[in-house]
Amino acid sequence: MKALFFILIFVGIAVAFWQIVKLLGLLKGNQVATEKENNINGWLMLGLMVILYLIMSVSLYKCRWVLLPKLSASLEGEHIDTLFMLTMGLILIIQFILQFVIFYFSFKYRGKDKNYKARFFADSHKLEMFWTIVPTVVLTALIIYGIWTWNMVTDVTNKDQNPIYIELYAKQFQWEARYAGTDNILGDANVRNIKGMNTMGVDMTDKNAADDKTVLKEIHLPKGRKIIFQLRSQDVLHSAYMPHFRAQMNCVPGMKTYMGFTPSVTTEEMRKNEDMVKKMKGITEIRKAKSEKLVASGEDALDPYEFDYLLLCNKICGNSHYNMQMKIVVESEADFNTWLASKKTLAQVLK
């Protein structure tokens, strides 16, 4: 019933628009644009250009600190960032120029003069060649650079870097992880082995499995070592998204997928990063303001914000998709080894 009420309001607003125009006497008369209207709309086109530039620059300016800090937290990510800045620079230049030309032409050639003759200009092979070849050259460069970067960041077969193998395991709506243990080989696994404490379905008859270590809630990574993630899912598609490391890969039930990177900034170092300090300060202020309201209405205050790397789920996976995360801690290799040594092996856990 209330819905009907709202619908009536909308209909009312619509009818009002028509009636106002009718009262203004604008319904009568010629409905084709006149010279006067061409003139006004031509100027408005120039106005639109200004508004568009305004929206673009305000967005760019305001969002400086909101963006992921320009600092990538992985070595591979640095190449992605370079390519990104290059492409973004190119896009912004083209955008500013083309939008200018569109709106400027719309303004300049507005049909304000009855006797003006448009120019019959239907074709020019020279011009067309020019704007086919220029994009082709630019794109060739982008394609080559892009594919080179892609090949580098997706290479998970290179054993020279002595990588550490970690499995990320996704299920509705939680992440688990498994470290490969002293042999640095992950034991086989299948959902059909899931039982009791063996929540990841590791096949304990596989000799590589006994020394694997599973962890919940947070994973630790050593700075400077190549990490190769093996991803699995227990139920539906999920996506392991680690924005700060410029890394993402889907978790597909029935299949293993892989991604890898080399963490290059520890959590502590990132918290001291200049951009990050500004971002944390901003967020803490926002949370403080919100907390005051919460406390006034008798609820608990929010914690101040402290930066942590995160693993997010980035593929719609059900009801709590928006809250499926795990903390990532990057630390020195020595700290990492101590942390890992404190964890029990699967064989110990399942005994």
Partner 1 sequence: MSHDHKQTFITKYIFSQDHKMIAKQYLITGIIMAVIGGFMSMLFRLQLAYPEQKFSIIEAFLGKDGMTPDMYMGLVTIHGTIMVFFVLTAGLSGTFSNLLIPLQIGARDMASGFLNMISYWLFFLSSLLMVISIFVHTGMASAGWTIYPPLSALPQAMSGSGLGMDLWLVSMAIFIAASLLGSLNYIVTILNLRTKGMKMSRLPLTIWAFLITAIIGVVSFPVLLSAALLLIFDRSFGTSFYLSDIFIQGEVLHYQGGSPILFEHLFWFLGHPEVYIILIPALGITSEVISTNSRKPIFGYRAMIGSIIAIAFLSTIVWGHHMFVSGMNPFLGSVFTFTTLLIAIPSAVKAFNYITTLWKGNLQFNPGMLFSIGMVSVFISGGLTGLILGDSALDINVHDTMFVVAHFHLVMGISALLGMFAGVYHWFPKMYGRMMNKNLGYLHFWLTVITAYGVFFPMHFTGLAGLPRRYFNNAAFPLFDDLLHINVVITWFAIAGGIAQLIFLANFFFSIFKGKRAVKNPWRANTLEWTAPVEHFHGNWYGDIPEVHRWPYDYSKVDENGEFWGGQDFTPQTEPIREGEEEF
Sole window of 162-170, 205-213, 214-222, 300-308 interacting with partner 1 (rule: CB under 8 A): 300-308
Map tokens 């600092």 to a residue: 71
Q: How many CB atoms lie within 10 A of CB 271?
A: 14
Task: Spell out where 195-332 has E strands.
Answer: 213-216, 218-222, 227-233, 238-242, 247-251, 257-261, 309-313, 325-331
The one-letter code for the residue type at 45 is M
Instruction: Please give the residues from 256 up to 295 whose contact with partner 1 meets the rule CB under 8 A.
Output: 257, 279, 282-283, 286-287
Where on the phi/psi map is residue 134: left (φ > 0), alpha (ψ -120 to 50), or beta?
alpha
Instruction: Please give the residues from 71 up to 110 whose contact with Cu ion meets the rule CB under 5 A.
Output: none
User: Shortest approach of Cu ion to residue 316 CB, angstroms?
Assistant: 6
Q: From the list Cu ion, partner 1, none, which binds 90 (C-beta under 5 to 8 Å, kind-based)?
A: partner 1
Sole window of 3-11, 18-26, 316-324, 331-339 interacting with Cu ion (rule: CB under 5 A): 316-324
User: Shortest approach of Cu ion to residue 240 CB, angstroms?
Assistant: 10
Sole window of 25-33, 39-47, 73-81, 317-325 interacting with Cu ion (rule: CB under 5 A): 317-325
Q: From the list partner 1, Cu ion, none, which binds 216 (C-beta under 5 to 8 Å, kind-based)?
A: none
Residue 249 bridge partners (DSSP): 240
Instruction: Please give the residues from 187 up to 216 whose contact with partner 1 meets the rule CB under 8 A.
Output: 190-192, 194, 201
Sole window of 3-11, 259-267, 298-306, 321-329 interacting with Cu ion (rule: CB under 5 A): 321-329
User: Shortest approach of Cu ion to residue 319 CB, angstroms?
Assistant: 10
* Residue 318 engages partner 1 in binding (rule: CB under 8 A): yes
* Residue 251 engages Cu ion in binding (rule: CB under 5 A): no
* Residue 229 engages partner 1 in binding (rule: CB under 8 A): no
How far lies 151's CA from each of 75, 85, 87, 107, 144, in Å? 14, 19, 18, 47, 11
Total binding residues toward partner 1, as defined by CB under 8 A? 134
* Residue 300 engages partner 1 in binding (rule: CB under 8 A): no
The tokens describing 266, both together, are 């520890």
Considering only 8, 50, 89, 105, the residue that binds partner 1 (CB under 8 A) is: 105
Q: From the list partner 1, Cu ion, none, which binds 257 (C-beta under 5 to 8 Å, kind-based)?
A: partner 1
What DSSP string describes 277-314?
HHHHHHHHHHHHHHHHHHHHTT-PPPPPP---EEEEE-
Pairing status of strand 218-222 against strand 164-171: unpaired
Q: From the list Cu ion, partner 1, none, which binds 97 (C-beta under 5 to 8 Å, kind-based)?
A: none
Map tokens 């990532």 to a residue: 328
User: Shortest approach of partner 1 to residue 76 CB, angstroms?
Assistant: 9
User: Shortest approach of Cu ion to residue 251 CB, angstroms?
Assistant: 9
Residue 85 or 333 with smaller CB distance to partner 1: 85
Asked whether the beta carbons of 169 and 232 are under 8 A apart, the reply is: yes
Considering only 73, 79, 167, 210, the residue that binds partner 1 (CB under 8 A) is: 79
The tokens describing 314, both together, are 């980035």
* Residue 23 engages partner 1 in binding (rule: CB under 8 A): no
Map tokens 């059900």 to a residue: 318
Q: How many CB atoms lie within 10 A of CB 43?
A: 13
The tokens describing 209, both together, are 């499995």
The alpha carbon torsion through 242, 248, 252, 258 (nearest 10 deg) reads -100
* Residue 98 engages partner 1 in binding (rule: CB under 8 A): yes
The Cα diameter of the chain in Å comes to 94
* Residue 296 engages partner 1 in binding (rule: CB under 8 A): no
* Residue 126 engages partner 1 in binding (rule: CB under 8 A): no
Contacts of 65 (CB under 8 A, 6+ apart): 275, 278, 279, 282
Sole window of 162-170, 178-186, 253-261, 341-349 interacting with partner 1 (rule: CB under 8 A): 253-261
Say how far apart CA 65 and CA 183 lie, in whole Å. 43
Contacts of 112 (CB under 8 A, 6+ apart): 35, 38, 39, 42
Q: From the list partner 1, Cu ion, none, which binds 127 (C-beta under 5 to 8 Å, kind-based)?
A: partner 1
Catalog residues that contact Cu ion under the rule CB under 5 A: 238, 313, 317, 321, 324
